[in-house]
Chain A
Amino acid sequence: MTLKGKVWTVGDHVNTDEIIAARYLNTTDGKELAAHCLEGLRPELVKQVSQGDFLVAGENFGCGSSREHAPLAIKEAGFSVVIACSFARIFLRNAINIGLPVIEIPSAREIKEGDLLEIDFQKGKIRNLTRKVEYTWSGYPPFLQELIESGGLMKWVTRKYIGSD
């Protein structure tokens, strides 16, 4: 799978309250959540994003609450991948569980807003077409790769535990 898109950037320690504030958590509707995605940090961003764009962050992206509404809002807002120097652990597992691709590379900070990227998941290559730089990414550990290839946690569990029911 190869994805191409434009980059929007945020900084370090972006927390789940900034991604989707608790006052909007009285719904589980992805589209509604998406309307307030990153409102606490960049209120205009959600109106500027085009389907398939990439969100690029610094360290510890998604720290704070366990709300799955956070990756859900990002996904529904149109972002196809989140790239960060590092992710907070609950955000990471939530993203993987709901099928929002996340890529952890230490050099994420070198990617700037407006850059055009091409991501080749098979080869683990991220090409910055604007800056003519290429980054490699070692991919997911085998267990997570299996989860992702199954189509997410629910499909994996369904096959394993309900399939024979």
Chain B
Amino acid sequence: MNLTEKILARHSGRRKVAPGEFIEASVDLILANDVTAPLAIAEFEKAGARKVFDPDRIVLVPDHFTPCKDIRSAEMVKKLREFSRRYGVRFYEIGRAGIEHALLPEEGLILPGELIIGADSHTCTYGALGAFSTGVGSTDVAAAMISGRVWLKVPEAMKLVYTGRRQPWVGGKDLILYTIGLIGVDGARYQTMELTGPAIDSLPMDDRFTMCNMVIEAGAKNGIILPDTITLSYLTEVAPQKKVTLDWPGCEADATWKKCLEIDVSLIEPQVAAPPLPSNSRSVREFAGQRIDQVVIGSCTNGRLSDLRRAAAIFRYGSVHPEVRAIIIPATQKIYQQAMAEGLMDIFLKAGCVISPPTCGPCLGGHMGVLGKNEVAIATTNRNFIGRMGDTSSQVYLANPEVAAASALKGRIAHPEEVLP
């Protein structure tokens, strides 16, 4: 069995599972947000449930339309708050929270080997810590809040082996955009993507989160990375009380893969994905000159501290182009504080960026940076679908934080090396 199959077997009381089998698995953590939880709560109540299976294992994070953008979104968050008070489930209020997929790992709520479901497609992020983690719907969450279980089909597996040394300005975002470009937006549909190889072994934790975060853009059920010393040192910091160890047997010799793919990362340049699909990724050089109106640096994909550090390393060389607005969104309250303490916020403010509170906001065209007709953005977010960030005629290009920052300075899509003195 591979890593995903081992976790699924352990959570369904079986010695072995095989691709295609349907299982009912126990869940270690259930997540929902301000968009998906209200539907889940309605279903939970309609079913006549009087208690949740375990309040400690349910987390509600209002992050999509918060701080609430209008009366209706305020009413939706109110439902989460009230549900949390009534049933004792975890609720993260704004000011003590952030974007769910940055927040939960930071809070030490995710451990290797666990099984996590979330009513948000980017729940797959936590595979970076060696957990099985996948996005589901609101009704799934309602059912799991009652039963503590979820129905799953054991996925087939794709093994990706990343070799070679990363070029300058290339991070996890570029590796995953390149991969999606290679296999397509449904290249891993229903499958697990196990990310392996020497280039993953040396990849920092934040970049691993970014990669696992975007496996859904290739249609994958989950992405997963075998825990190692990088995982362990991260967990020791965020969850010292949990005393995590690395007693991982690794992938058994009989692990079977539907497909194995080797990717030499030394050939990958910083990537940009053109609208309207994340698979339209090519070297940033091919897009140089594309004018832009807005830059967004943040989201569950690239709103972590190292992303802000990378952006600041570019913004210190200039000011945001007069015809461009740049929005910086630290993903959590803690990241915001750390960025302040390191002086990153000063750099952003001096360069003419606006800093938003933690929110998913513009990534999904919710608020805090919605695009008007025919406007063009380059963003460190995860989707560039038609109308994703605003009007259906607007466009989104996806990139890493350095490329986004360099583009903000130039007023057009730019390679980071263009802005260095």
A71–B62 Cα gap in the complex (Å)? 22
A125 close to B (CB within 8 Å): no
A31–B277 Cα gap in the complex (Å)? 29
Tell me if B120 and A154 are in contact (CB < 8 A): no
A 118-159 to B, binary, CB cutoff 8 A, 1 in contact else 0: 000000000000000000000001011001000011101110
With contacts A26-B73, A67-B35 taken as known, whether A60 is within 8 angstroms of B139 at the C-beta atoms is: no
B262 close to A (CB within 8 Å): no
With contacts A17-B388, A86-B189 taken as known, whether A93 is within 8 angstroms of B136 at the C-beta atoms is: yes
With contacts A28-B39, A88-B219 taken as known, whether A64 is within 8 angstroms of B121 at the C-beta atoms is: yes
B243 close to A (CB within 8 Å): no
Tell me if B121 and A154 are in contact (CB < 8 A): no
B108 close to A (CB within 8 Å): no
Tell me if B47 and A157 are in contact (CB < 8 A): yes
A158–B145 Cα gap in the complex (Å)? 11
With contacts A22-B364, A28-B39 taken as known, whether A90 is within 8 angstroms of B137 at the C-beta atoms is: yes
A23 close to B (CB within 8 Å): yes
Find chain B residues with CB under 8 A from A60 CB: 185-186, 189, 219
With contacts A26-B70, A89-B219 taken as known, whether A68 is within 8 angstroms of B186 at the C-beta atoms is: no
Q: Which of B120, B219, B392 contacts A66 (CB 8 A)?
A: B120
A 18-49 to B, binary, CB cutoff 8 A, 1 in contact else 0: 10011101111000000000011100000000
Q: How large is the interface on A (under 10, 10 to 19, 20 to 34, 35 or more residues)?
A: 35 or more
B287 close to A (CB within 8 Å): no
Q: Which residues of A contact B (CB under 8 A)?
A: 13, 15, 17-18, 21-23, 25-28, 39-41, 59-60, 63-69, 72, 86, 88-90, 93-94, 97-98, 141, 143-144, 147, 152-154, 156-158, 160-162, 165
Distance in angstroms from A106 CB to nearest chain B CB is 14
- Please provide the chain B residues from 111 to 159 with a CB less than 8 Å away from any CB of chain A in the complex: 118-121, 123, 135-140, 142-143, 146-147, 151, 153
Distance in angstroms from A90 CB to nearest chain B CB is 5
**By the criterion of a CB under 8 Å from any partner CB, how many residues of chain B are at the interface?**
53
B36 close to A (CB within 8 Å): yes
B385 close to A (CB within 8 Å): yes
With contacts A68-B138, A93-B137 taken as known, whether A17 is within 8 angstroms of B383 at the C-beta atoms is: yes
29 residue pairs bridging A and B, Cβ less than 8 Å apart: A21-B365, A21-B387, A22-B365, A22-B366, A23-B370, A25-B366, A26-B76, A27-B72, A63-B185, A64-B121, A66-B137, A67-B35, A86-B189, A90-B121, A93-B136, A94-B137, A97-B143, A141-B153, A143-B22, A153-B140, A153-B143, A154-B46, A154-B47, A154-B139, A156-B143, A158-B49, A162-B47, A162-B48, A162-B146
Tell me if A154 and B140 are in contact (CB < 8 A): no
Tell me if B35 and A25 are in contact (CB < 8 A): yes
B257 close to A (CB within 8 Å): no
Q: Which of B50, B185, B392 contacts A165 (CB 8 A)?
A: B50
With contacts A17-B383, A66-B36, A68-B39 taken as known, whether A88 is within 8 angstroms of B186 at the C-beta atoms is: yes
Q: Which of A17, A59, A86, A98 contacts B139 (CB 8 A)?
A: A98
A141–B121 Cα gap in the complex (Å)? 24
